Amino acid sequence: MVFGKPKPPLLGPLEVLVFSGIWPASVAAGLIATCGLVLVDSPSLGRLATAMALGTAGTLVVYNIDRLRDLHRDRATAPARSAFVERHREALIALSVASAGACLPLAAMLPPTTWWACGVALGLGLFHRRLKGAHRAFAVFYVTLAWLAVVLGIPAATFAGELQSPIGVAIVASALGPSIAANLIASDLRGHSLDKSTRRRLRTGTWIALAGCLGPLAASGFRPLIAIPLAVCASLAGFRPSEYYGLLGLDAALLLGALAAIALLVQGGGG
């Protein structure tokens, strides 16, 4: 009898975390929390938690619909994820339906302005599958816009009447936009060899991420946001073309950057 190579003990939980959409949804929740805390002086934690839950549920819906519909096209760049989606198709459909159902009461708990942000985010997210094969730069721009609609649009709309300054939204966008774009550039390199072309694109992503530091540097209250582009730069410096690094490691940088920014914001507020 021939036995297959045993899975590492953590591979099963990691597969669920990364391939079910929970990991990118966690990134969305972390970035929403960061935006809410930096845009509003002492925001309502209840409303912020609701906005985070709404962003999490919406990300799960869009993410899994995209993976379920484009399973055949994703096999080349994400074979392990595609195999997971194929094995757990019914469970992922159930997760998507439950998440979609949760979005309605969560949105109803927030101001009507948030509904418009959700509509834009949903439209951009569901249209994303049609961009596969489009020009690389346009696809990065489009998906970055879709992510900003979720992680910045939802908290900005939730606290529209309490924003410290309208220009603050632009400053946050100037930090998050380049960070997300750099993440997407590196994500597109999964499965590529670390040749001259790949390293050139990683350098481009690094410079784009560093540009995300400029806006926060100009406004002291927003300087904790610098943690996000710097974390993305670190993930690009340690880039590996494996599927797990592309889906877990790169997004981990966004989440860890968001958590570091939150810690700095809380510490600054407490001082």
- What is the per-residue pLDDT across 226-265, written as a single tens digit (0 to 9) for each? 999 999 999 999 999 888 888 889 999 999 999 999 999 9
Write down the pLDDT at residue 133: 56
CB burial of 141-179 (b: ≥16 within 10 Å; e: otherwise) equals ebbbbbbbbbbbbbbbbbbbeeeeeeebbebbbbbbbbb
What is the per-residue pLDDT across 219-232, written as a single tens digit (0 to 9) for each?
888 999 999 999 99
Asked if pLDDT for residue 204 goes beyond 70, the answer is: yes
Asked if pLDDT for residue 132 goes beyond 80, the answer is: no
Asked if pLDDT for residue 2 goes beyond 50, the answer is: no
CB 140 within 8 A of CB 184: yes
Q: What percent of the chain has pLDDT over 90?
A: 54
User: Look-up: residue for tokens 């929403």?
Assistant: 32
Classify residue 183 by its DSSP letter.
Answer: H
Asked if pLDDT for residue 57 goes beyond 50, the answer is: yes
Asked if pLDDT for residue 134 goes beyond 70, the answer is: no
Angle at 129 between CA 118 and CA 212, to 5 degrees: 65
Higher pLDDT pick, 44 / 123: 44
Q: What percent of the chain has pLDDT over 70?
A: 89
Q: Return left, alpha or beta for 133; rule: phi > 0 is left, psi -120 to 50 is alpha, else beta.
A: left
CB 51 within 8 A of CB 113: no
Mean pLDDT of 102-118: 90
Mean pLDDT of 159-185: 91
Q: Where are the domains of the chain?
A: 11-262
Tokens of residue 186, six digits: 């590196």
DSSP 3-state assignment of 163?
Answer: strand
Choice among 30-34, 114-118, 177-181 with the minimum mean pLDDT: 114-118
Cα–Cα distance between 11 and 13 in angstroms, integer?
Answer: 6
Residue type, 184: L
CB 144 within 8 A of CB 166: no
Classify residue 165 by its DSSP letter.
Answer: -
Mean pLDDT of 68-90: 79
CB 232 within 8 A of CB 27: no
Higher pLDDT pick, 266 / 32: 32
Mean pLDDT over all residues of the chain?
87
User: Look-up: residue for tokens 């939204």?
Assistant: 169
Cα–Cα distance between 250 and 184 in angstroms, integer?
Answer: 9
Write down the pLDDT at residue 153: 93
Write down the pLDDT at residue 159: 92
User: Look-up: residue for tokens 């696809």?
Assistant: 139
Write down the pLDDT at residue 129: 57
Asked if pLDDT for residue 5 goes beyond 70, the answer is: no
Write down the pLDDT at residue 1: 40
Question: How many angstroms separate the Cα of 73 from the Cα of each of 10, 200, 229, 241?
Answer: 27, 26, 30, 19
Residues 6+ apart with CB under 8 A from 53: 29, 102, 106
Mean pLDDT of 178-188: 94
Helices and strands per DSSP (H, E), number in the chain: 15, 0
